[in-house]
Structure 1
C-alpha cells in the first residue's frame, strides 16, 4: 500500500520532532518534511507534493487560519489541525473546520513529549483518514490495536419504543468527522419555529461549548450545550457535551435532556447510538433520525432502532460527505429510509416534521 505522505507545519521544534516520531510509527505514513511557518511550508508543498498537512494554529509570519484559507482557495488539500486544548484553541479550530480542514488533533498543554506519544494511534488514524477524505471515502487501512467496543447496552438497555408522547416531533442528529460543518448547514436552514433538535457530534469536552455557541450565532434556532434535566422545546437545538452521553427522557410531563457519564460506546463519548436509542424509547415514531458525515459506524444500530419504531430516518449522501463512513454504514445496513445531499436535508426534515406520524417511509436513494 502506498504510504500517506505528510508535511508537518509547526513553529515548535519539539512538536515537529514528536509529531514526526508519532506519525512514522505507523508503517502506512511517511513524513516527507517539516516547516516552522506557513511561508516555508508554501514552498515545501510545491517541492514535496504531500498528501496531507498537519497545521498548527498560532505561528510566526502567518497564522494557521490565514494560511488555511489561502490554501483552500488556491490548492485545496487535506489538512489536520493541531490545536491546544483550550477554549480559545477550540474556537479557532472550529473556524478551521469551517474553512475546510478535515479534522483536528488536540495538543496537550503539559508534559508534551510523553503525553503526545500516548496519542500516536489517534493522530495516525486521523492523518490516514484525511488522506482519503476527499473526494471519496478513504480506502481501508491497517487497523490498530484498540480497546474493545461497547454497544449502547452499556449505557441504556433497549426497551420497546414508546408511543408519540406529547405529540411533538423531535429530530435527532448524529455526526463525526466533517460534522461540525454539516450541522451548521442544517441549523442555518432551520426557522426559529423548527421542532427541537438533539445532536451528538463526536467532539472533545473543551470544544463542545464553543461549538454550541458558534452554532447559536449562525442559526435562527436557539442552540446550546445540553444540560442535565433541561426541558426540550421547539425552536431549540441541544448539543451533547464532550465526554458525556446525551439522552432524551420523558419525565411524565415533557421530554428532557439527560446527561450520562457511562463508558464510551463504539469507542465514543458522547455516542450517537446512545442518543438514538434513548430517542427511540422516549419519543417513538414521532422522532426523526439523521446520520451525517463521519468515520466509523456509530449511529447505525440506533438509527435502525428508530426505523424499527416507525421513525423516518435519513443519511447524508456520499458526494456531500467529508467521510461516508457513518452514513454509509447506516445506509448499507438498511437503517435509513432516505439518502440525501447535505443541502437538501434541512428542507426534508421540515417536511417530515409537518407530516403525520406513521409507521415508516419508503427507502429512497439519490
Structure 2
C-alpha cells in the first residue's frame, strides 16, 4: 500500500461487479439534478430514480431496492431524519446524508450519524464557492457512495448503547508517563467517538485531542454535541488552547492543527497551512505530536476510509509511543487502522468496546490482556 502519496486512498477492495444503484432523495429539483449529474459521471454508479420527500422515498425504496440512498434532511411531508428512522427500522440501506451548512442542518446531520447514516456531504452553494462547490463535493460524494455500498450496516446500527461512565474505575495515581491522548477518525468516527468518549470519567488524567474528518464548519457543532454527552469538556480547538486534563479538543475542519510547546505548556496551533487534501489531517497532527511528545503519547486510530494517520502513527510507534488501532470487525470502514497496522505502527488492535479498557490498562500499567 502506498500511503505516502496522498491522504485519501481510493475505493479498490470489494468493488461491485455491477453498478451501485442509487436513489437520490431531495425536495429541490435543482439539487436532484445536480446530484444525479455528479453520480452519472462514474461508470460504477447508476441513478435508478429520485424522490421528492421522505414518503416518496419509502415507497420507491420498497419497489426499486437501491444499494445506497442520498438523503436530504429538510423536506416537506416527511423530513430526512424521520425517513432515516423508517429506513433503519424497516429495511436498513446505507444512507449518505446531504445537508446545508447551517446550524439546524449541522444538528440534523450529526443526529443522523447517530441514527445510522454512513456519512454525509454538504450541498453545493454557488454563492459561497470557498465553502462548498461542485468540484469540492463531486469526488467526495462518489467516494462515499462507493464506500457506503460496501459497509455492513450492523457495525453502525448495532453499536452498543452509550453507557454511563462507571467502568473501569481508574486508580488514584496513574503513572505520569504520558502527556496526552491523540485520536484520529474518519468514516464511522462520529458514532464511534460518541460511544468511546462517554466512558471517560471526569478525572481522566490526560488531555485529549481529536482529528475527525468533516467538512468545514461542522466540527464546532460536533464538539458542542459531544459536550452534552461527555463528562469532560469538549470544544473546538483554537490556537493557544492548552492540552490539559478535563478537556477534549476537536481539530477544526477546514484547517490544520498541530501541537507545540509553550514553556511548560502543550498547546494547539490552528492554521490554513499546509495545503493538504484532508483538513484536518490526522497525519499532520500525529507528526507534530511525534515532534513534541514522542514516547509520552497515547494514540488511537479509529474507523475511517483511506490511509490518513497511518504514517503518523508509524512514526509515533517508532519513537516509543503506545498506539492502538480499532479492529476490522468493529470498524465501519477498515481503512485508516489497516494502513497503520500494515506499516507496523500499532501496538494493540482492539474492538471499539475494548479501546477504553486498553487505554486505562496502559495508564496504570495493568497487564491483564494481550496486544497484537
Q: TM-score, normalised by structure 2?
A: 0.84
> Residue in 2 aligned with 1:163?
none
> Residue in 2 aligned with 1:155?
none
How far is 1:55 from its partner? 0.2
> Residue in 2 aligned with 1:197?
208
How far is 1:36 from its partner? 0.4
Asked if 1:39 corresponds to 2:55, the answer is: yes
> Residue in 2 aligned with 1:65?
81
Query: Over the residues paired in the alignment, what is the CA RMSD in angstroms?
Result: 2.1
Q: Structure 1 residues 364, 211: CA separation in 2 closer, same or farther (over 3 Å shift)?
A: same
Q: Structure 1 residues 112, 78: CA separation in 2 closer, same or farther (over 3 Å shift)?
A: farther
> Residue in 2 aligned with 1:296?
306
How far is 1:280 from its partner? 1.4
Task: Give CA deviations for 1:65-90 in whole Å, capped at 9, x if unaligned.
Answer: 11111211221110000000122211
How far is 1:333 from its partner? 1.6
**Equivalent residues of 1:336, 1:363 under 8 A apart:** no
How far is 1:285 from its partner? 1.3
- Distance, in Å, in 1 between the alignment partners of 2:220 and 2:199 is 21
How far is 1:353 from its partner? 2.1
Map of 1:303-322 to 2, 5 A cutoff? 303-322=313-332
**Equivalent residues of 1:287, 1:312 under 8 A apart:** yes
> Residue in 2 aligned with 1:148?
none
**Equivalent residues of 1:226, 1:239 under 8 A apart:** yes
> Residue in 2 aligned with 1:120?
138
How far is 1:263 from its partner? 2.7
How far is 1:134 from its partner? 1.8
How far is 1:50 from its partner? 0.5
> Residue in 2 aligned with 1:236?
247
> Residue in 1 aligned with 2:91?
75
Task: Give CA deviations for 1:159-212 in whole Å, capped at 9, x if unaligned.
Answer: xxxxxxx85431000001111111111110101111111100111221010000
> Residue in 2 aligned with 1:150?
none
- Distance, in Å, in 1 between the alignment partners of 2:287 and 2:258 is 8
Q: Structure 1 residues 264, 97: CA separation in 2 closer, same or farther (over 3 Å shift)?
A: farther
Question: How many residues are treated as equivalent by the alignment?
Answer: 331
- Distance, in Å, in 1 between the alignment partners of 2:100 and 2:226 is 21
Structure with the higher fraction of residues in helix conformation: 1
**Equivalent residues of 1:263, 1:269 under 8 A apart:** no
**Equivalent residues of 1:87, 1:206 under 8 A apart:** no
- Distance, in Å, in 1 between the alignment partners of 2:89 and 2:222 is 24
SS in 1 for 2:31: helix
**Equivalent residues of 1:57, 1:65 under 8 A apart:** yes
How far is 1:40 from its partner? 1.4
- Distance, in Å, in 2 between the alignment partners of 1:276 and 1:316 is 17
- Distance, in Å, in 2 between the alignment partners of 1:323 and 1:115 is 26
- Distance, in Å, in 2 between the alignment partners of 1:214 and 1:118 is 26
How far is 1:117 from its partner? 6.0
Map of 1:136-151 to 2, 5 A cutoff? none
**Equivalent residues of 2:217, 2:254 under 8 A apart:** no
- Distance, in Å, in 2 between the alignment partners of 1:102 and 1:321 is 12
> Residue in 2 aligned with 1:364?
371
> Residue in 1 aligned with 2:233?
222
Asked if 1:130 corresponds to 2:148, the answer is: yes
Q: Which runs of 5+ in 1 are unaligned?
A: 138-165, 357-361
- Distance, in Å, in 1 between the alignment partners of 2:223 and 2:323 is 24
SS in 2 for 1:284: coil
SS in 2 for 1:250: strand
Task: Give CA deviations for 1:318-346 in whole Å, capped at 9, x if unaligned.
Answer: 11111101011111221111111111111
- Distance, in Å, in 1 between the alignment partners of 2:199 and 2:264 is 30
Asked if 1:353 corresponds to 2:360, the answer is: no
- Distance, in Å, in 2 between the alignment partners of 1:136 and 1:2 is 23
Task: Give CA deviations for 1:215-235 in whole Å, capped at 9, x if unaligned.
Answer: 111000111101101111101
Asked if 1:12 corresponds to 2:19, the answer is: no
> Residue in 2 aligned with 1:184?
194
